[in-house]
Amino acid sequence: MALASLRPLRSRNFALIWSAALVSNLGSWMQTVALSVLVYARTDKPAWAGLVAAAGFVPIGLLAPVGGALADRLDRRKWLILTTLAETLFAVILAVLAGLHHDPPWALVILSFLGGACGAIGFPAYQAMVPDLVPKEDLLGAVSLSSAQYNLGRVIGPALAGLVLLSQNYALNLSGSRYFLEHPPITDYADLDRRMRSGELSLAIEIPSGFARDVQRGTSVQIGAWIDGAMPQRAETVQGYVQGMHQSWLIDLAKTHFGQNFSNGAATIETRFRYNPDVKSLPSMVPAVIPLLLLMIPAMLTALSVVREKELGSIINLYVTPVTRAEFLIGKQLPYIALAMLNFLLMTLLTVTLFDVPVKGSFMTLLLATLIFVSFSTGFGLFASTFTRSQIAAMFFAMIGSMLPAIQFAGMINPVSSLEGVGRVIGEIYPAAYYMTISRGVFNKALGMADLQAEFAPMVLAALFILGLSIALLKKQEK
């Protein structure tokens, strides 16, 4: 009797269309589960997950009668091909949107509805074709097999989706949070090192192969979390978030998938800090203090050199000689640039010998960046001197105006990417942020000119702008 019910599969055309329908049915159910997981991970709202799932099933009740009427009036074969291709097209659009991370919930709901509508109006054509594909004596078995493949897909599809999405669910648990932004996948360890050294990544999650299978079996699994340790405070914050979300994921998985509690060790997370494995503060803070000193001290000294002449009255030499404002200010600036470079060499020597923080990258890259940066800092001192008349006022303005943005908005404590509003704007245009990236990159990450060339242009523009502004504001004659 069982063999008789399988007899319709001897008909080649029926076997082909039955197999294709089974694969399509499995894929549709897997897509339904994946969509719900994706929407919930993106929005953290169960209502959206329920809405996108409902959008795929509502057309079945509404449009199935319409599909039956169309199957009676149109060429069933062509109609089935057309609706299947349309359903495939919407599935491809869904995959592209999800891959590009341009997947707002409302768009997923619409595409889910359109895909469900195509399936609803195409399925009656498949059912109506069955009597034409098998002999009359096999018709009852063919109808039973068609019903069996639908129910089989409804049972196996979600189960397969659960296994496939288990590791994806872990990744979505992180990328869907408001604490992390997902980037394109990492291809290998060299790619991980390159992207983390450049500052593109602060955290990389390594999920081992067979993760879903091992978790389901209760086998101990270790997930790798690679964290950029160049900024210890941020690294420890990232570690805390990752461990908290990991425990939350385990508890949720135990309740919703397996009905048991294996939050005590079935899957553990192993944290590794790159570029600063011991998470020491000196490798991070010493390269960040150098920019602060090279910003504040040259700015104060340069500002005092001009304002002192105003107080003593020797500024009159500028008014009565044919020396231009540019020549006067650049002449004041150059000695302090040379002094600042000497200070930089001494600080680098102390960093390597006294604090035991080696220069791992290109020292010539750091030297060139320092020259540009001290040109800005001395230019800032010239700018402060153009509208101050006393040495105390010039020193105060140069110190506060240079140090406050550098400490608060240049990435010394918190990365510029985490700032918002005016603070983010200041961090993006202030050259100390770029020099701090170069200093930490050369000392901690062994970076060179090829890795840091993008950081030079903003510093050059800032140095030229502040010098030009100082020249424009300096009066050739007192009123």
What's domain 2-163's superfamily in CATH? MFS general substrate transporter like domains (1.20.1250.20)
Report, as an integer, the average pLDDT of 171-198. Answer: 74
Supply the pLDDT for residue 338: 95
- Inter-CA distances, 444 with 72, 198, 237, 287, 455, Å: 72, 12, 19, 9, 16
- CA–CA–CA angle 170, 116, 253 (5° rounding): 20
Checking if the pLDDT of 275 tops 80, the result is no
Residue in 284, 306, 443 with CA at minimum distance from that of residue 383: 306
Nearest in space to 205 (alpha carbons), one of 167, 234, 231: 167
Residue position matching structure tokens 């399988």: 6
Q: What is the mean pLDDT of residues 55-83?
A: 80
Of 80-84, 216-220, 239-243, the least confident: 216-220
State mean pLDDT over 350-359. Answer: 90
Span 181-185, average pLDDT:
75
Q: What span, in angstroms and rounded, lies between the C-alpha atoms of 39 and 54?
A: 13
**Per-domain residue ranges of the chain:** 2-163, 189-274, 282-473
pLDDT tens-digit map of 29-45: 777 777 777 777 667 67
pLDDT higher at 110 or 160? 110
What pLDDT, in 10s, does the model give residues 200-224? 788 887 777 766 666 666 677 777 7
- What is the structure's pLDDT at 205? 77
Residue 104 pLDDT > 70: yes
With contact defined as beta carbons under 8 Å apart, do 39 and 108 qualify?
Answer: yes
Q: Which of 164-168, 308-312, 348-352, 393-397 has the highest mean pLDDT?
A: 348-352
Confidence of residue 458 (pLDDT cuts 50, 70, 90): very high
- Taking the whole predicted model, whether its pTM rises above 0.85 is answered as no
When the pLDDT of each residue in the chain is averaged and rounded to a whole number, the result is 80
Q: What is the pLDDT of residue 467?
A: 93
Residue 279 confidence class, pLDDT cut points 50, 70, 90: low
- How many helices and strands in the chain, by DSSP H and E? 18, 3
Instruction: Pick the more confident residue, 299 or 173.
Output: 299
Predicted confidence (pLDDT) per residue in 110-140, tens digit: 888 888 888 878 778 777 777 777 787 777 7
- Going by pLDDT thresholds of 50, 70 and 90, the confidence category of residue 345 is very high
Task: Tell me which of 370 and 155 has the higher pLDDT.
Answer: 370
Average pLDDT of the segment spanning 231-241: 72
| Mean pLDDT value across residues 315-338 | 84
Please give the pLDDT value at position 263: 47
- The closest alpha carbon to 435, from 468, 475, 402, belongs to 402
Contact 27, 157 (CB under 8 A): yes
Q: Is the pLDDT of residue 1 over 50?
A: no
CB 276 within 8 A of CB 235: yes
Asked if pLDDT for residue 288 goes beyond 60, the answer is yes
Query: Comparing 19-28, 220-229, 429-438, which segment has the lowest mean pLDDT?
Result: 220-229
Segment 360-393, tens digit of pLDDT: 999 999 999 999 999 999 999 999 988 888 888 8
pLDDT at 398: 87
Backbone angles phi, psi at 355, to 5 degrees: -95, -5
The pLDDT value given to residue 465: 95
What pLDDT is attached to residue 54? Answer: 81
Helix (H, G, I), strand (E, B) or coil at 272: strand
Q: Residue 267 has what pLDDT? A: 56
**Spatial CA neighbour of 101 closest among 42, 47, 51:** 42
Token pair listed for 284: 């991070």
Q: For the range 338-342, what are the long-range contacts, defined as Cβ-Cβ under 8 Å and sequence gap of 24 or more?
A: 339/298, 339/301, 340/294, 340/297, 340/298, 340/370, 340/374, 340/377, 340/378, 341/370, 341/371, 341/374
